[in-house]
A and B are shown apart, each in its own frame.
Chain A
């Protein structure tokens, strides 16, 4: 439960002599008089690190204020905290969060087609995305990818609290491969910023590092060079993530990327099912049966329209 308390200690040299001002503290104000989002997010980074320290959870703070102006353009705002958790620690971490008042908004399966992050909400801290892997960083060996990032981690103060973040070159690569998910026209603005500010040598260092993760495809997709990977089993998947692509081709990309029968069946099931969490967020309310039915059939109509083009 959030208790925002305003300590009314507004003092300056002149008013200090007016003792009654001191005498008014502490004064409770309603919850809506709260901490602004940019401060709240920074403080919640510290909260997560403290929780992780106390429970031997390995996690890395990624994107947003954790990376800050080392990687992003100045004055870029964030709306949530992104955490990359050692895959073997994810279940325990989610259990601890729920015990501490966090509510699940989406599961890994319902969050996005990448199935990489679960979104949770807490009335004091706001929103967080708990990542079990980072899309674009070695999908086929998620535990190994985390270990590689973890080995090179560093401490960075966020809200005057020591938090673990990846080494700088990994931060830059994470921002680049994240840019491959933009499905827009042209390169992502964060990638453009890196192109404007980094030297050729720094890009070379990033490329060498991304090779260690066998993850050049997302890196190149973000830079508009996906065609270099034609024939790769992840080609269609990343092409459809980086560029506007008809829905059936997106599904085909997901199927091609999936490894083995079990994963392919999982993708098929996921495609067929209506994503209640996603639909609820789009509509702004719990979807009705009618709305779910409409979405289910509307997808097949889109396939027919695409085939008839």
Chain B
């Protein structure tokens, strides 16, 4: 049987991002992340677990690894996060923010 290769996801090169906490001291505690696709001029606002997943993509990893790490971060089961994480990755990929 042919072995299926799990693709590695990584941030696209042509992206830039700013944490709200980078903007000034008064934003301490905010979890917002502003993300830009430098080719399409499209901007995104990520909140809650979005920035956590973006941070985890600081190096290439498979969807399985990512789901495991998200589950560990939020102390829940992998099954709980599987659907949302895959959907989130797919959304970012469609808009050119991540590639694999």
Contact = CB atoms under 8 A, between A and B. Distances in A.
Interface of A: 1-13, 15-17, 19, 22-23, 25-26, 33-36, 38-40, 42-44, 46-47, 50-51, 75, 100-101, 122, 124-125, 158-161
B65 interface: no
B23 A9 contact: no
22 contacts: A5-B42, A7-B50, A9-B49, A9-B88, A10-B49, A11-B52, A11-B74, A16-B49, A16-B76, A17-B76, A17-B80, A22-B84, A22-B87, A25-B87, A40-B43, A43-B17, A43-B18, A46-B16, A46-B36, A50-B14, A50-B38, A124-B41
Interface string B34-57: 101011011111111110110000
Contacts of B63: none
Contacts of A17: 76, 80
| Chain B residues touching A, majority SS | mixed
3 closest A-B pairs by beta carbon, nearest first, are A22-B84, A46-B16, A11-B49
Contacts of B46: 7, 9
Contacts of A158: 16
Contacts of B7: none
B44 A5 contact: yes
A59 B20 CA distance: 27
A36 B83 CA distance: 31
Interface string B3-16: 00000000000101
